[in-house]
Amino acid sequence: MNTNKKIMVTAALPYANGPIHIGHLAGCYLPSDIYVRYMRMRGRDVKFVCGSDEHGVPITIKAKKEGITPQEVVDRYHAMMSDAFEEFGISFDHYSRTSSDQHHKNAKEFFMNLFEKGALEAKETQQYFDPEAGQFLADRYITGTCPKCSYDEAYGDQCEKCGTSLSPTELITPKSALSGAKPELRSTTNWFLPLDKLSDDLRTFLKTRENWKPNVIGQCMSWLNAGDGLQPRAMTRDLNWGVPVPIEGAEGKVMYVWFDAPIGYISATQELLPNDWEKYWKGDDAEIVHFIGKDNIVFHCIIFPAMLQEHGDYALPKQVPANEFLNLEGRKLSTSKNWAVWLHEYLQDFPGQKDVLRYVLTATMPETKDNDFTWADFQQRNNSELVAGFGNFVNRVMVLTHKYYDGVVQEPGTLTDEDREVLLNMAQYGRRIAKNLEDFKFREAISEAMSIARLGNKYLQEQEPWKVYKQDPVRAGTVLYVATQITAVLSIVFEPFLPGTAAKLRSMLAMDTLPEWKAIKNETIIDAGIKLGKAELLFAKIEDSQVEAQRTKLEATLVQKEEEMEENSHAAQKKDISFDQFMEMDLRVGTILEAERLPKADRLLKFLVDTGLDKRTIVSGIAEHFTPEEMVGKEVTVLMNLPPRKIRGVESQGMLLIAEDADGKLSLMSPKSGTPSGSVIR
């Protein structure tokens, strides 16, 4: 281990539009905190930064919904997240926010650096514009039907149902999230990072990383090796909330939120160390480790490294140990659906028990595949592993030492082979835990740490100091001396995982400072003659009623969701229109002459329809419900006078009318067989 290295640890900037839940904790905040606490105990030069990500469209949408300013939204959640992290013991050296002056200044400098080098390409593209709200609709400002899965609330940047990453123009029947208006395409200039031209450099970057998780490398390679490869990506947006783009001709534009957010790590370090920050970000000694969840892999392993490479002054990330997703009671965690265990609520419902959640989340961390959090498992792990295992061992050592020796650790007599073996084992455990922590295998590490408590219990059970004491108080004192050393080792190895418990243990063991990690190797950590502190219980049993209350809370969320679904299934009647408006619709009977699938679009069928008036092309997103073969010859209802629209390069001139039942099953609106094409419907 090269100890001159400056280790820069970052945890993904949480989005300031909702509170923190257990999925966020298991994804990156807990693993990063464990890693940093361990590195500090090794005496390594490590800095740990994070902050609220306060830009981006969801924040402005939330503000609009609640009738407050975006600044008020981010102020509320920044305070909430920052408090919850602190209370949960996430030991950031600095928790910043991307609305800070330092960040705006730094992000602008970074942007200008790339711009002046010619690393950003200006391009005029067609973007959706809301004529009612008078603004362009980036990312989540636009919703519509997903072309992949037909989900009708897909966003302009992603469909949350099927996970596909989208661009706004791919949405079927796009709608402004601001006004509900039908958006129109207008041209605008934005600045693009030409990822296509940077692919070779990125490939080299990824090939030279060592010991990356296979899931992380695998995802990156699948993008690089995809059919069309990487595409240029817009780094600016036509928006008014974010870091303003500092170049001429870009008035009213801000940086893409994923351009400025990772620069936020650098800004936070500048705020922490105004004079020394560069050592952690530049040069051969800088060792940058980004802790993230798997949904952020593309931004940290492709886009940000590409930005850093183009800038040229910065070191590239050494490790990005991304975790997979944590589920809750078998369902995907979701902020918008309120399917979550919220950190601030947990801290209220289980006062003084933050370490229980830290323990369970670490023991079930989704390191290589998705994992499930259940309240039954939470209760079981607490009651049998923490209370009956770890807590019981420590309590026996403390209580017996107080009972027989007035709390004073005894001078050991002759050590038996068993005593020596147990003590020797401690150093081995220490090495194995350290290796796992350095390899980002936190589940393995905490499981090894728990084995020490199990070994302690086994040792006491075999040596039975409570029986031995009557005949041989020296031997009983020796056993308790050995057991006290095991307890001291527990206070060291659990510091990264359960810092509150470790601190309590140290005070019980009369250790006034946190020892270095290497103290595990010492034959004696607690000297004979030391008087131990008061015995306190480390963990409390979690009752059935407590987990029952949590499950009830979740069930209430489900019931509420089902009721909403039911309401939606019989959509409410729309607002009245005039008779004239109805008469403006040109509805006619048509006959389908030809039907085929549109290449590369799973959802779309292309039809040639005889309308009586003409033969026209109509594209419809119904390919999952009907085959082209069964459609040919069918009589259908055509809405004739919709303006023509380009869908996947094909101009669609009208729309086929479809009925959809509550289960999403579609049927064609077909007139009685034999109705001639061109018959007018009214």
Residue ranges binding Zn ion (CB under 5 A): 146, 148-149, 151, 159, 161-162
Please, what is the minimum distance in Å from the beta carbon of residue 160 to Zn ion? 8
Please, what is the minimum distance in Å from the beta carbon of residue 653 to Zn ion? 26
Tokens of 588: 């006619």
Shorter beta-carbon distance to Zn ion: residue 170 or 419: 170
Of 103, 388, 107, nearest to 255 by C-alpha is 107
Count of C-beta atoms within a 10 Å radius of residue 211: 10
Shorter beta-carbon distance to Zn ion: residue 144 or 430: 144
- The amino acid that residue 387 corresponds to is V
Kindly tell me the sign of the dihedral angle through the C-alpha atoms of 220, 224, 227, 232.
positive
Please, what is the minimum distance in Å from the beta carbon of residue 44 to Zn ion? 44
- The amino acid that residue 641 corresponds to is N
Please, what is the minimum distance in Å from the beta carbon of residue 601 to Zn ion? 12
Compute φ and ψ for 365, nearest 5 degrees: -55, 135
Tell me how far apart the alpha carbons of residues 405 and 256 are, in angstroms, rounded to a whole number: 66
Shorter beta-carbon distance to Zn ion: residue 149 or 474: 149
Q: Which residues contact 554 (CB under 8 A, 6 or more apart)?
A: 328, 329, 339
Please, what is the minimum distance in Å from the beta carbon of residue 583 to Zn ion? 36
**DSSP state at residue 148:** T
Using only the alpha carbons of the chain, give its radius of gyration: 31
Please, what is the minimum distance in Å from the beta carbon of residue 156 to Zn ion? 13
Q: Which residues of 604-633 are buried (b: 16+ CB within 10 A; e: fewer)?
A: bbbbbbbbbeeebebbbbbbebbeeeebee
Please, what is the minimum distance in Å from the beta carbon of residue 669 to Zn ion? 25
Shorter beta-carbon distance to Zn ion: residue 155 or 375: 155
Please, what is the minimum distance in Å from the beta carbon of residue 154 to Zn ion? 5
Shorter beta-carbon distance to Zn ion: residue 162 or 376: 162
The DSSP bridge pattern shows strands 605-610 and 615-620 to be antiparallel
Tell me how far apart the alpha carbons of residues 364 and 159 are, in angstroms, rounded to a whole number: 28
Cα-based distances in Å from 101 to 95, 96, 236, 243, 421: 15, 11, 19, 10, 58
From the number of C-beta atoms within 10 Å of its C-beta (0-12, 13-18, 19+), residue 20 rates as: buried
Cα-based distances in Å from 384 to 91, 149, 376, 399, 450: 28, 44, 12, 20, 12
Shorter beta-carbon distance to Zn ion: residue 161 or 279: 161
Please, what is the minimum distance in Å from the beta carbon of residue 163 to Zn ion? 7
Please, what is the minimum distance in Å from the beta carbon of residue 266 to Zn ion? 35
Cα-based distances in Å from 372 to 51, 163, 340, 362, 413: 27, 19, 12, 12, 49
Beta bridge partners of 168: none
- The amino acid that residue 73 corresponds to is V
Shorter beta-carbon distance to Zn ion: residue 161 or 282: 161
CA 142 to chain centre: 23
Shorter beta-carbon distance to Zn ion: residue 175 or 358: 175
Q: Which residues contact 361 (CB under 8 A, 6 or more apart)?
A: 22, 25, 26, 30, 326, 373
Shorter beta-carbon distance to Zn ion: residue 146 or 326: 146
Tell me how far apart the alpha carbons of residues 317 and 286 are, in angstroms, rounded to a whole number: 9
Please, what is the minimum distance in Å from the beta carbon of residue 149 to Zn ion? 3
Please, what is the minimum distance in Å from the beta carbon of residue 155 to Zn ion? 10
Tokens of 645: 């629209």
Shorter beta-carbon distance to Zn ion: residue 151 or 404: 151
Shorter beta-carbon distance to Zn ion: residue 334 or 524: 334
Shorter beta-carbon distance to Zn ion: residue 149 or 530: 149
Please, what is the minimum distance in Å from the beta carbon of residue 162 to Zn ion? 3
Shorter beta-carbon distance to Zn ion: residue 151 or 626: 151
- What is the biggest distance separating any 2 CA atoms in the chain, rounded to whole angstroms? 110
Q: How many residues does the chain have?
A: 682
Cα-based distances in Å from 202 to 197, 298, 638, 681: 10, 12, 49, 58
Shorter beta-carbon distance to Zn ion: residue 103 or 148: 148
Tell me how far apart the alpha carbons of residues 334 and 21 are, in angstroms, rounded to a whole number: 9
Cα-based distances in Å from 122 to 119, 234, 532: 10, 9, 69
Please, what is the minimum distance in Å from the beta carbon of residue 296 to Zn ion? 20
Shorter beta-carbon distance to Zn ion: residue 150 or 457: 150
Write the secondary structure of 362-408 as one string of H (helix), E (strand) and C (coil): HHCCCCCCCEEECHHHHHHHHHHHHHHHHHHHHHHHHHHHHHHHCCE
Please, what is the minimum distance in Å from the beta carbon of residue 166 to Zn ion? 8
